[in-house]
Amino acid sequence: MTTDTIRKRRRHSPEFKAAVISACLQPGTSVAQVAREHELNANQVQTWIRKARQQSRLPAPNDFVKLPLPVSAPSLSSAASDSSVIRIEIPRTNGSIVVNWPLADGDRCLRWLQDLLQ
């Protein structure tokens, strides 16, 4: 093997890593897609994200999203019967998480829910 074919380990600045991590956290963006765009390995980018979370620079993913949610028939309450509100109820062992979102802002609710479930 000649010295021309030896690859050196690349070093990335903290600013570059922060920009890549930020791009990964945008709605509708996958880590693999961002990694390809920056000619990086997706596993390396995942490591950067994990380290940033450990250093508390990023919010940790929501634990309840990883749990299977029981599916039951929706119950009608006063808020749920209001046709101007989107009601999302997530049952938990220590209570429920209830989100009431204005129906007029349904597109943002959809994007929020998609981000939450990624």
Find where tokens 């880590």 sit: 31
pLDDT of residue 71: 47
| Spatial contact of 35 and 23, defined as CB atoms under 8 Å apart | no
Residuewise pLDDT in 10s, the chain (118 residues): 566 677 788 899 988 998 898 888 887 888 999 999 999 999 999 999 888 878 765 555 554 444 444 444 444 444 445 578 888 887 777 777 888 888 888 888 888 887 777 6
Alpha carbons 22 and 38: distance in angstroms, whole number? 13
pTM of the full predicted structure? 0.46
pLDDT of residue 57: 53
Alpha carbon 113 to its chain centroid, in Å, reads 10
Q: How far is CA 112 from CA 42, 67, 71, 93, 101, in A?
A: 24, 18, 20, 23, 11
